[in-house]
Structure 1
Amino acid sequence: MTTEQPDSIRDEVRRYLAGHLDRQVSDDVDIFAVGLVNSLFAMQLVTYVERRFGVVVETDELEDLRNFCSVDAITDYVAGKTASPVE
């Protein structure tokens, strides 16, 4: 796992979503609420996050779609998972 900067995470997630949704979305738009994604894409998104950022999405985190509903939410989630622990 690497420590990622939030701006870098945000840029990566924006590109990924734009490429798969064929449109740009504002960072705060809930992509589930506005109907831009289905359950299959939700799983693809989780797989992308795990592979690209080297994190493991736990079952309880998967059950809370708020972690993956927008660019902002994904950025916060990944930044939290990749943050260096405070010693």
Structure 2
Amino acid sequence: MTVSSEPLKSPDPAVPEPVATTGGVEAELLRFLARHTGRDWTIDADVFGPGGLSSLFAMELVVYLERTYDIAIRGADLRMDNFRTVVRMAELVERLRQQVSGGPRA
């Protein structure tokens, strides 16, 4: 998979345009993490592991995901395991999008 190095264009730079595919979600999350941490991440890196992000950053991730992908992350979905890797965050976004659109439920 090739990931474009060009940032998404958005009228409000704080809220990028929604990304349509799970691969697109992963790419956008990698850009978001790089912008906010000053380092590059892989999709399977434990972002909260040793040398990673603080647990306080998890709340920023929740707000970012909700605003960017027009989803609501509540209850059991707020578990730290859903935010450990870019892959898990993208899976959460996709599952919640399907629930909103009436698609298959996990």
Larger RCO: 1 or 2 (CA < 8 Å, sep 6+): 1
Candidates 67, 73, 77, aligned match of 2:82: 67
Q: For residues 35-82 of structure 1, what are the alpha-carbon distances to aligned partners after superposition, in whole Å with 9 as ceiling and x for unaligned?
A: 3111221110111001101110012211x1111111111111111111
User: Cα distance 1:12–1:60, how it changes in 2: closer, same or farther (>3 A)?
Assistant: same
Identical-pair percentage: 31
| TM-score normalized by the length of structure 1 | 0.85
Between structure 1 and structure 2, the one with the greater Rg is 2
2:46 touches 2:85 (CA, 8 Å); kept in 1? yes
**Amino acid paired to 2:47:** I
Give the superposition deviation at 1:3.
8.2
Report runs of 4+ in structure 1 exceeding 2 Å deviation: none
Amino acid at match of 1:81: L
The two structures, once aligned, show a CA RMSD in angstroms of 1.7
The code of the aligned residue for 1:68 comes to: F
Aligned pair 1:19/2:35, yes or no? yes
Q: Say how many residue pairs are matched.
A: 84
- Distance, in Å, in 1 between the alignment partners of 2:54 and 2:85 is 14
Partners of 1:3 and 1:31 lie apart in 2 by: 21
Q: List alignment gaps of at least 5 residues for structure 2.
A: 1-17
